[in-house]
Amino acid sequence: MSSPSASRSSSARTLVIISFVLDAVALIFLPIILGPIGAVLGFVAYSQGEKKLGLWAGIGGIVATVVGMVLGAVVANNS
């Protein structure tokens, strides 16, 4: 049997991976929706014990939201 801390770490790591994927997709597609979801998942992973990567994933979601919206505005104004 796996210990509870091992499964918790595994679920936190899964949340971090999903968060980073959503952060990357948010740069080009639906940043106002996917970026905050990625940030929330990152901070949830942080609270579950994935301190370093969870924090970076949460911050990455915030940054991806802002950068994605700026890129969208630039593309919309140049079209």
Token pair recorded at residue 24 = 């990357």
pLDDT, tens digit, for every residue of 25-52? 999 999 999 999 999 999 999 999 888 9
Q: Nearest Cα to 35, choosing from 54, 50, 53, 19? A: 19
Total domain count, the chain = 1
Residue 53 in contact with residue 16, Cβ under 8 Å?
yes
Look at residue 78 in the predicted model and tell me its pLDDT.
Answer: 87
pLDDT tens readout for residues 13-28? 999 999 999 999 999 9
Can you give the residue range of the structural domain that contains 38? 4-78
pLDDT band at 3 (very low <50, low <70, confident <90, very high): low
For 49-76, write each residue's pLDDT tens digit. 888 999 999 999 999 999 999 999 999 9
